[in-house]
Amino acid sequence: MDVGVIGDIERLVRCESPSEDLEAVARSAEVVADVGRARLGSEPERIVIEGRTHLRWRFGGRPRVLVLGHHDTVWPVGSLERHPFEVRDGVMRGPGCFDMKAGLVMAFHAIAALDDRSGVTLLVTGDEEPGSPTSRELIEDEARRCEAVLVLEAAGRGGALKTERKGVSRYEVRVTGRAAHAGLDPEKGVNAALEAAHQLVAVAALGGGGTTVTPTTLRAGTTVNTVPAGAVFEVDVRAWTEAEQRRVHAAMMALRPCLDGAAVEVVGGPNRPPLEAGASRELFALAERIADWPLTATAVGGASDGNLTAGIGVATLDGLGAVGGGAHADDEHVLVAELPRRTRLLTGLLGCLLGRNGGLGSVRQDQLSGEALWNHACRD
- The dihedral of CA 219, 223, 224, 227: what is its sign? negative
What is the model's pLDDT at position 362?
38
**Which tens digits make up the pLDDT trace of 149-190?**
999 999 999 999 999 999 999 999 999 999 999 999 999 999
Between the two ends of the chain, the Cα-to-Cα distance in Å is 10
163 conformational bin, left if phi > 0, alpha if psi -120 to 50, beta if neither:
alpha
Task: Give the pTM.
Answer: 0.88
Helix (H) or strand (E) holding 246: helix 242-253
Would residue 276 show up in a list of annotated catalytic residues for this protein?
A: no
DSSP calls for 86-100: EEETTEEESTTIIII
**Other beta carbons within 10 Å of 133:** 13
What is the model's pLDDT at position 358?
39
Residues in the chain where the model's pLDDT stays below 70: 1-3, 356-380
Q: Which of 72, 99, 147, 244 is catalytic?
A: 72
* Same fold yes or no, 3-166+274-373 and 167-272: no
What is the model's pLDDT at position 61?
85
Would residue 260 show up in a list of annotated catalytic residues for this protein?
A: no
| Domains in the chain: boundaries | 3-166+274-373, 167-272
**Which tens digits make up the pLDDT trace of 35-44?**
999 999 999 9
The single-letter DSSP state of residue 299 is E
Domain spanning 167-272 has what CATH number? Answer: 3.30.70.360
Contact 191, 226 (CB under 8 A): no
Q: What's CA 346's distance to the chain center, in Å?
A: 18
310 backbone dihedrals φ, ψ, rounded to 5°: -65, -35
Pairing of strands 120-125, 212-220: unpaired
- The dihedral of CA 358, 359, 361, 365: what is its sign? positive
71: CB partners within 8 A, 6+ apart: 12, 17, 25, 28, 29, 32, 55, 101, 104, 124, 125, 126
Q: Which fold has domain 3-166+274-373?
A: Aminopeptidase (3.40.630)
**Which residues on neighbouring strands pair with residue 93, listed in sequence order?**
86, 333
**Which residues on neighbouring strands pair with residue 67, listed in sequence order?**
122, 150
**Other beta carbons within 10 Å of 142:** 21
Strand ranges (DSSP E) for 51-166? 52-58, 65-70, 86-88, 91-93, 120-125, 148-151, 161-165
**Other beta carbons within 10 Å of 200:** 16
Nearest to 354 by CA among 107, 151, 162, 146: 146
Q: Which of 16, 127, 128, 332 is catalytic?
A: 128
What is the model's pLDDT at position 360?
41
**Which tens digits make up the pLDDT trace of 119-152?**
999 999 999 999 999 999 999 999 999 999 999 9
What is the model's pLDDT at position 3?
64
